[in-house]
Amino acid sequence: AREVSTLSCQKTLSSAKEMPAKKGTKRQVEAATPVAKKSRADATFEGVAEAIQQAVDIPEVVRTMLLAGLPDGLGTPRDERHELQTGIVSMIGEVVLGVQAKLQEGVDAEATKVGGADGRRAELGGLLAKAEAGLNAAAQDAQALAAAHAAAEATAEAAAAKLAESQEAQRAGDAAMEQAQQSKARLEMGLNVHLHGVVEAEECEHHHQALLPLLQELALDQSLMSALPSVCAKPPSERGAFDAMVLEQLGKTLGEKVAELAMFVGEAAPAAQQRAAAVAEAQAGAEAATASRASAVAALEASTLAEQAAKDAGQSAAAALAALEPEYMAATQARDEKRAALEYFKAYSVGSFELLRDKTSQTVAPTGGA
């Protein structure tokens, strides 16, 4: 487009003023009548004048010159304009279109801001929706995991109770067998070591003393208990048939008691094994239940953290969305205002310019009708 310079505008306006209008036309009569010329300075000219005044990017002196040349240039019908008037109209047209372009740039700039804010709103809205969905899912998971944790806790408590019960049953059931095993071991020691020592050793008093508690447990015949000290006091070479009978009877009694205890232990062994197996099974169950409870606790804690993270994300997105809303509203309002200003400019200023620019002598109302 041609640049509207101060010098070219001055030359055009000066030449236009000096150049007479075309002869033999209706315009020639109207130009000579000040009242008729003034009647055309109506809202149509004002719309174009407003456009020129908005052209702040050209020098003020140029705007003043264009405003001065406005009535002469656009006030003359298109088919009556000479070259210099046509030049003025062209300059004014460039200015009007330039202002329109600036207004359009403003609208586009605000629309870009609105688009950016819209994009951020959509992004934040997506984050908020995702966070809300995550929060709902986390809450459901937490509820399910809380139920699983409660079940695991109950299972662990039941397993611990079962273990304690089986251990108590083992302790009570094995007590008699263990006592019998201990008694059998003491009697075997008495039979194989101390009684043998009494029979064979020259000095057997300490063997005699070791046998006394065992003999008291056996509730032996009093005659045997009374005869034993005198037998032990004699060396083996001095003992008689009675002494040998006492020692033989004692050995027999001890052997029978050992056999009796061995039979009792043997008969009790299967039940003890069953109790031991029950304890082992209960121990394994308790350990498994404890591990399950620990896993349930860890899962519940992780779910709680995930629920809190989703809640924090949702609050953050909601806060960011709320903080963005004033910016979005301001950008939308600015865009709408500039769009309205552009539409007004196009309807009023551009429309007025085009109407005056394209007007011919055939469309001008007769002077007498004004």
CA–CA dist 91, 63 (Å, integer):
11
Do residues 173 and 272 touch, judged by C-beta distance below 8 A? Answer: yes
Over residues 283-305, mean pLDDT: 91
| Confidence label for 218 from pLDDT (cuts 50, 70 and 90) | confident
Nearest to 190 by CA among 222, 228, 227: 228
CA–CA dist 308, 300 (Å, integer):
12
Whole-model pTM above 0.85? no
pLDDT for residue 235: 82
Question: Any residues with CB less than 8 A from the CB of 311 and at least 6 apart, and which?
Answer: 131, 135
Nearest to 247 by CA among 262, 230, 261: 230
Span 315-366, pLDDT tens digits: 998 999 898 889 889 989 999 999 999 999 999 999 999 999 999 988 655 4
Amino acid at 258: V
- Residue whose entry in the numeric block shows the structure tokens 């039940």: 271
Instruction: Assess whether pLDDT exceeds 70 at residue 256.
Output: yes
What are all long-range contacts of 196-202, with beta carbons under 8 Å and residues at least 24 apart? 198/231, 198/232, 198/247, 199/236, 199/247, 199/251, 200/236, 201/236, 202/235, 202/236
CA–CA dist 238, 40 (Å, integer):
171
CA–CA dist 161, 167 (Å, integer):
10
DSSP 59: -
Instruction: Assess whether pLDDT exceeds 70 at residue 368.
Output: no
pLDDT for residue 348: 93
pLDDT for residue 4: 52
Mean pLDDT of the chain: 83
- Residue whose entry in the numeric block shows the structure tokens 């003359």: 76
